[in-house]
């Protein structure tokens, strides 16, 4: 069965690890258009 919480946690962990590995000077730009995919990105960003 699909576990959305587990997938979200794995994505958040990957993002955290990426920025820890690449240092404090590492930045990201996230484009938000208002669609469903943007909503998912925003929820993930809020947990990082």
Please state the domain extents for the chain.
4-47
E strand or H helix that includes residue 38: helix 36-47
Measured CA to CA, the distance from residue 27 to residue 19 in angstroms comes to 8
Q: At CA 38, angle to CA 28 and CA 36, rounded to 5? A: 165
Q: Confirm if 20 and 12 have CB atoms less than 8 A apart.
A: no
Q: How far is CA 26 from CA 5, 15, 20, 33, 46, in A?
A: 27, 12, 9, 23, 18
List the chain pLDDT tens, one digit each, 48 residues: 999 889 889 988 998 898 899 988 888 888 888 888 888 888 877 877
- Give the pLDDT score at 2: 92
């Amino acid at each position: 069965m699909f576990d959305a919480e587990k997938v979200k946690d794995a994505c958040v962990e990957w993002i955290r690890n990426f920025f820890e590995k690449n240092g404090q000077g590492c930045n990201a730009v996230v484009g938000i258009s208002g669609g469903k995919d943007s909503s998912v990105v925003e929820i993930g960003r809020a947990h990082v």
